[in-house]
Amino acid sequence: MKDKRVQKIKPIVHKNFFKNSNFKIKKRKKTFGESVRIFSTRSGIDLVFCTITLVLLAIGLVMLFSASFFNAYHYQKGDSYFFIRSQLMWAVLGIIVFFITSFFDYRKLKKIAIPTLILSFLLLILVLFMPIRNDVRRWIPLGPVSFQASEITKFAIVLSFAYLISKNFKRMSTFKYGVLPYSIILLFTAFLLYLEPHISCLVIVVLLSGGMLYIGGIKLRWFGVVLSAAILAVVFLLVSNKLSYANERVIGWLDPFNSTADTWQTRQGLYAIGSGGLFGVGLGKSRQKYLFIPEPHNDFIFSVVCEELGFIGALLIILLFVMLIWRGIVISMRARERFGALLGIGLTAQVGLQVILNIFVITNTIPNTGISLPFFSYGGTALVMLLAQMGIILSISRTSSIEK
């Protein structure tokens, strides 16, 4: 006999996406202890996802040291360990945060979704008054360290969209609840990122938002309207010369070896990839990292990976990222509620987008937009933020294994 306590609800995803997805939620009265619980210990973490995350972190630290030691020796008064020492300290802190957030009850994040979004807006405004570095304003100094406000923005967008979509899921096909609030959030965020400017983060935010809205059930015709508006905005900016630096990058992207634009970094990255061959020149033996590739420990670190580990080594690392993304989606689809599923998919998609766009940049598939490679590129606060988000996915895996 069918248990009346179990009711079927519509899948969290769009009708054209994962058609067979379904959730079964068992209703029961919460005890007082459960209603105030912040940390969840009812089930174990997903060991596959946890292992892949730590393996990628370990490989990333090894490759960061290999890519950065000569650059550090040259620019940091002979201190070859300058970058790796800092990154290791942040990695230890990140691992601690990683496991703490894995015990955190992710459902409590609903209460801070909107405050986090407001905080991200305030930080994006604050960063506009910060000193210019490399012709942009992206970093907020915090004592001896600094962080990019956009790192909070990406998380805030995923968290707020997951909360709002799960709250208004049955009304996502309407303009008032399915288009208007998300358009306002996205337009304001895009405007602030444009003022920095931070086009790479803007691209990620737009793609993340569009993906989550599609999964949430928004009607496809609205995508056509938004896409048309975005194309008109880009054309206007290009014609009005508001993005002159972007114009130069597009020109350099079309012909990096003969262009008058500055394409030195792209060319040296392509030389590194080509010289790696099938098996690479060997770990630590890259030649392009000796001041040929500017800051090889940042956005172009994967070109050093290709040179030292070759096509085989680079392919294995890409497969690890694919496994991480696949496992994150599996965990998310087993979440006990829509909010957890949307949150997990959004955080997983963010990593996937950054990996794809970074590899596209270093192979000159798209113009150079300055996108870092997760777990590999230098940046302490970004690494801690990334590991915290991976911990949230582990938190979702704790509860998703209770009721499948």
* Kind and range of the H or E run holding 7: strand 6-9
Listed residue (270, 305, 290, 281) closest to 62, CA to CA:
305
Distances (CA, A) of 206 to 128, 191, 315, 339, 381: 21, 12, 28, 20, 23
281 in any annotated domain: yes
In a domain, 24, yes or no: no
| Cβ 123 vs Cβ 150: under 8 Å | no
- Joined tokens for residue 307: 């040179």
At residue 173, φ and ψ (nearest 5 deg) are -80, -10
Tokens 């070759």, located at residue: 310
pLDDT in the model for residue 21: 45
Asked whether residue 252 is assigned to any structural domain, the reply reads: yes
Distance, CA of 119 to CA of 160 (rounded, Å) = 12
Does some domain include residue 25? no
Whole-Å CA distances, 157 to 124, 331, 347, 352: 13, 20, 10, 16
**Would you list the DSSP string of 221-245?**
HHHHHHHHHHHHHHHHHHHTTTTHH
Secondary structure of residue 384 in the 3-state scheme = helix
DSSP 78: T
Specify the DSSP class assigned to residue 169.
G
Across the 404 residues of the chain, what is the mean pLDDT of every consecutive 10-residue run?
44 45 46 43 77 97 95 88 94 96 92 94 92 80 81 94 91 82 89 85 88 83 69 61 63 72 84 92 93 91 96 96 96 91 95 95 87 92 94 90 44
**By residue range, what is the domain housing residue 271?**
43-400
Backbone angles phi, psi at 261, to 5 degrees: -75, 165
Q: Is residue 16 part of a domain?
A: no
Does residue 299 form part of some domain? yes
pLDDT score of 264: 84
Q: What are the residues whose beta carbons fall under 8 Å from the beta carbon of 264, sequence distance 6 or more? A: 294
Instruction: Say whether 31 sits in a helix, a strand or coil.
Output: coil
Could you give the number of structural domains in the chain? 1
Query: What is the per-residue pLDDT for 95?
Result: 96
Is 36 domain-assigned?
no
